[in-house]
Amino acid sequence: MYRITAVDERQVLPAELKELKLWNNREDFTLTEPVRREQDSVPILHQMGTDIVFLAANGRPADEIELIDRIRQSRIELRFVLVGNDRSYEYVRQAFLSGALDYLARPLSEKAVDQAISRIYETAVTKETLFKITPKVELLIENLFSEDGSNVSFICRNLIDTIYEDLNQDVLNAQMAVKRTKERIYNELIRRKPWLEKFLTPDKYIYSIGFRNEDRETILRQWIRDFTRVGSVIHKYHMIDHKLVYPIGKYIVVHVDEKLSLDRISGDVSLSKNYISNIFKKYVGMSVVNFIKEVKMDRAKILLLDKNRKVKEISECLQFSDAEYFTKIFKEKTGITPTEYRSK
């Protein structure tokens, strides 16, 4: 667990930090007792086992530079975040020149503090680590887009093992690096195929405020589950990449939340209804109408994960005439009702 210490001669910063609810959501760090700036901070911070210092800026950058220099000379491994009232470019520049890894202007927010800590974690990921994992990241992405995607489990394990081993089993930094890498992969997938976002759950891939301490095997299982899901969606709709089907299939998946019909698709992609029907049946193996239903049900499965949304709201979101008809189509495609699917 990382230990965070607030250093402030006026003892205002410790109170500001303590008020944030952020600390309730994270198991990876804790706030220590604060330290007054006029004290000889170096031995106190060393004795407390501090990892990260939130240092209140007093408007005199030279003081911050002097304190950070003294700590560096003592060879104590500490990372600094400066907190102040001045938002000017020059002051922020001086903060970074002093050796701080971040500068936060008041008033402090949950998001700003969390992002600052996350950036500090990321500094533990060396250029060498990034060099090692980048080819593996690219390999995983290419494997997901390949025809079989059979190596997802192996590549995920190899990638995660590389991060942990390169960070010398530093569990918390490794966890952060793994989570950021997962987000990086997700963002690249969405960049290549923006429509994928409609059939995935971003929360499973994107880092958010407050994460729980999890063991490596648990994280690996999550990676395999989540990226297998990505692969299954890509492979299910791989046929829309056929050059003749692509404009039609892409239109449907991109506009899945809208009211779709053969007339609308024909007009918007500038192809005749007969051509669309014939080409779709030949290369996809089903009618356009059935494909639209299939896509909408896959989208419904994602929307149903939000338990605050009623089935009626989801049916309206997907442009069904009523919830009863939506439920009927959902059961035809999945074998169970939306309510039963949600309670699985």
Assign 74 a pLDDT band (cuts: 50, 70, 90): low
Which tokens is 281 given?
Answer: 């049946």
- What's the CA gap between 110 and 107, in Å, rounded? 10
Work out the angle at residue 36's Cα, subtended by the Cα atoms of residues 35 and 42, and round it to the nearest 5 degrees. Answer: 65
pLDDT value at 337 more than 80:
yes
- What's the CA gap between 124 and 161, in Å, rounded? 16
- What's the CA gap between 221 and 231, in Å, rounded? 15
Average pLDDT over residues 189-201: 91
Task: Please tell me the number of Cα atoms within 13 Å of 279 on its side-chain side.
Answer: 17
Identify the pLDDT of residue 304: 94
Which residues are registered as beta bridge partners of 5? 53
243, 249, 250, 251: CA torsion to nearest 10 = 120
Continuous segment of H or E residues that includes residue 7? strand 2-7
pLDDT value at 18 more than 60:
yes
pLDDT value at 40 more than 70:
no
Higher pLDDT, 128 or 165: 165
Whether the model pTM is above 0.85: no
Going by C-alpha positions, the residue among 213, 183, 216, 212 that lies closest to residue 200 is 183
Chain segment 290-307, per-residue pLDDT in tens: 999 999 999 999 999 998
pLDDT value at 332 more than 90:
yes
pLDDT value at 183 more than 70:
yes
Output 79-82 pairs: Cβ under 8 A, ≥24 positions apart.
79/51, 79/52, 79/53, 79/120, 79/123, 80/52, 80/53, 80/55, 81/52, 81/53, 81/54, 81/55, 81/116, 81/117, 81/120, 82/55, 82/57
CB 99 within 8 A of CB 72: yes
Identify the pLDDT of residue 136: 92
Going by C-alpha positions, the residue among 111, 49, 56, 103 that lies closest to residue 78 is 49
Chain segment 146-162, per-residue pLDDT in tens: 866 678 999 999 999 99
DSSP string, 100-154: -SEEEESSP-HHHHHHHHHHHHHTTS-HHHHHHHHHHHHHHHHHHHSSS-TTHHH
CB 144 within 8 A of CB 230: yes
- What's the CA gap between 322 and 327, in Å, rounded? 9
